[in-house]
């Protein structure tokens, strides 16, 4: 195909949910062999656009053309048959099956429509090899591999369906630096084959590294399409927000000013399997402790041990100097300790339930089934948090799964805050949400700390950890290697602590 003509072209796309228009007259062009970024705040319409292109959602108005021919997809399966595949942020594969089975599940491999396991493995090895993934054993269980490898297996599955358009929805949100580099290598391999790639990400630096073109949405409307090399980063942020990026507010009452001895939680010698060893943590009342570390460093194991999700194999946890046995999340909640998982779809949001039901879910569970919260009280409570956190749209009865990622995160925070916690442990609370929503969450953390709530804030973004935390605990290889006041750190110094092996630090 001539590079001057788009492989896929969407024009005049409008999608309505009742009286609300999630998309209004939006257009998108994807060219063969090009990586195209779709950018915008949460609620800008990115997810709706993806669903419209891939057959998951029917447009009220608009036209979709593939190779110049008008097409309509009633289901994602129809789109896949036409060569349009999507790899979502939350991987939709089966971890209890092998890599090969995940690549070919639902497809005939072998003669006469019968599945030949040997041929399946051989073909899977060929597909993986074509993407340079020779180290991935197609016979191994998918769940035994890292999230990064699972992402690549999902891409390999798309390749076996003769993919022509590949949509990658937040593909790097759970990857470390080396894993991102490997993903980008695979993307460039697909580019060389003429595949058009729609890359949806909130990591602006990654967009500028891998993408040729950028389309910006705001409030369901097309702001514009730009060549990446011609659009300054600051201009991109302005176009996404419609104004200058909201500044992170300064803490009114940072923990450095709190009296000595006001310690809420103290942990000594925490060990969780092979992932966390001999961890010592002190957290003051109204303090934000940032936690930095690469994937696999033990940061999530620490969070789970502090909140009863994973029982520590060794160590002592004290809350206000009293030793406690955090043997379950329920026990932790009774002590005012709550946890927000990094995987909000798997462990947090119940997509089919309404915003109201999601917000009041934990509070009702704490009270028990025999003490139902009256509906008028539930609505009043949920509405107060929707207003306080600016959850959009402010519709208590809308299924939470229809909200943008940033607003889903706010719903989860509302659920936890409804429990009136003393300690909030947040694992990647801004993962996969846009610049504006990140600032809102960061400011909310500061406000909570100013009001006496202690927060453990885990993030892969080092500058965010420094900006939000009063102190930063650095984990490497399952150990806390240092805890420093954030004001004593630079991004380069923190990166060195996070990534540098000890024998290179001499």
pLDDT in tens, 438-485: 888 888 899 899 989 999 999 877 888 999 999 999 998 889 999 999
Residue 8's nearest CA partner among 194, 221, 278, 267 is 194
Does residue 322 sit in helix, strand or coil?
A: strand
145 or 90, higher pLDDT: 145
291 or 243, higher pLDDT: 291
* 170 pLDDT more than 50: yes
pLDDT value of residue 376: 94
In this structure, how many other beta carbons lie within 10 angstroms of the beta carbon of residue 105? 15
* 122 pLDDT more than 60: yes
pLDDT value of residue 251: 59
* 217 pLDDT more than 80: yes
Average pLDDT, the chain: 86
Lowest mean pLDDT among 282-291, 404-413, 433-442: 433-442
* 259 pLDDT more than 50: no
* Cβ 208 vs Cβ 228: under 8 Å: yes
Tokens of 398: 């809308």
Residue 346's nearest CA partner among 300, 389, 390, 397 is 300
Instruction: Say whether pTM exceeds 0.75.
Output: no
pLDDT value of residue 356: 96
CA 434 to chain centre: 10
* 2 pLDDT more than 60: no
pLDDT digits (tens, 9 = 90+) for 179-200: 888 889 889 999 999 999 999 9
* Cβ 67 vs Cβ 7: under 8 Å: yes
Token look-up 């303090």 returns 287
Could you tell me the pLDDT band of residue 497, with boundaries at 50, 70 and 90? confident
205 or 319, higher pLDDT: 319
Provide the β-strand partners of residue 266: 282, 318
* 297 pLDDT more than 80: yes
Which percentage of the chain shows pLDDT scores above 70?
Answer: 89
* DSSP secondary structure letters along 390-442: T-SS--TTSBGGGS-HHHHHHHHHHHHHTT--SEEEEESTTTT--HHHHHHHH
Task: State the alpha helices, DSSP H only, in 141-294.
Answer: 147-160, 177-192, 204-210, 233-241
Could you tell me the pLDDT band of residue 126, with boundaries at 50, 70 and 90? confident
pLDDT value of residue 472: 96
* Cβ 106 vs Cβ 115: under 8 Å: no
Does residue 320 sit in helix, strand or coil?
A: coil
Does residue 160 sit in helix, strand or coil?
A: helix
């Amino acid at each position: 195909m001539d590079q001057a003509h788009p492989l896929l072209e969407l024009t005049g796309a409008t999608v309505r949910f009742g009286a609300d228009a999630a998309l209004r007259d939006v257009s998108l062009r994807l060219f063969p062999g090009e990586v195209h970024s779709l950018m915008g705040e949460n609620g800008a319409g990115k997810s709706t656009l993806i669903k419209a292109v891939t057959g998951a959602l029917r447009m009220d108005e608009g036209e979709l053309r593939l190779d110049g021919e008008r097409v309509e997809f009633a289901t994602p399966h129809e789109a896949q048959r036409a060569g349009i595949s999507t790899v979502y942020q939350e991987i939709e594969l089966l971890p209890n099956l092998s890599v090969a089975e995940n690549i070919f599940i639902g497809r005939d491999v072998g003669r006469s429509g019968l599945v030949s396991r040997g041929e399946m493995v051989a073909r899977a090895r060929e597909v993986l090899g074509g993407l340079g993934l020779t180290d991935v054993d197609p016979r191994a269980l998918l769940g035994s591999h890292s999230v990064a490898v699972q992402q690549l297996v999902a891409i390999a599955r798309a390749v076996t369906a003769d993919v022509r358009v590949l949509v990658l929805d937040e593909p790097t949100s759970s990857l470390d630096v080396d894993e991102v580099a490997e993903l980008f290598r695979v993307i460039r391999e697909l580019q060389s084959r003429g595949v058009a790639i729609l890359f949806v990400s909130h990591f602006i630096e990654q967009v500028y590294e891998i993408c040729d073109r950028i389309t910006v949405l705001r409030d369901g409307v097309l702001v514009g399409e730009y060549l990446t090399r011609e659009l300054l980063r600051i201009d991109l942020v302005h176009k996404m927000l419609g104004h200058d990026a909201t500044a992170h507010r300064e803490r009114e009452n940072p923990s450095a000013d709190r009296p000595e001895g006001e310690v809420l939680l103290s942990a000594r010698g925490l060990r969780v399997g092979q992932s966390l060893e001999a961890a010592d943590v002190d957290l003051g009342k109204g303090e934000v402790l940032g936690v930095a570390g690469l994937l696999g460093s033990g940061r999530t194991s620490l969070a789970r041990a502090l909140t009863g999700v994973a029982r520590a194999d060794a160590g002592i946890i004290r809350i206000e100097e009293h030793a406690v046995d955090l043997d379950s999340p329920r026990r932790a909640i009774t002590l005012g300790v709550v946890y927000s998982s990094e995987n909000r779809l798997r462990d947090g949001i119940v997509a089919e339930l309404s915003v109201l039901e999601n917000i009041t879910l934990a509070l009702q569970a704490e009270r028990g089934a025999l003490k139902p919260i009256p509906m008028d009280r539930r609505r009043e409570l949920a509405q107060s948090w929707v207003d306080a956190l600016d959850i959009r749209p402010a519709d208590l009865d809308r299924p939470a799964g229809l909200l943008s990622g940033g607003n889903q995160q706010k719903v989860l925070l509302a659920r936890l805050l409804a429990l009136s916690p003393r300690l909030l442990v947040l694992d990647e609370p801004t993962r996969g949400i846009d610049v504006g929503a990140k600032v809102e969450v960061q400011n909310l953390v500061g406000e909570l700390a100013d009001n006496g709530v202690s927060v453990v804030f885990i993030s892969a973004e080092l500058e965010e950890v420094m900006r939000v935390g009063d102190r930063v605990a650095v984990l490497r290889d399952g150990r806390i290697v240092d805890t420093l006041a954030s004001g004593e750190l630079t991004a380069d110094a923190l990166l060195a602590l996070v990534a540098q092996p000890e024998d290179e630090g001499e």
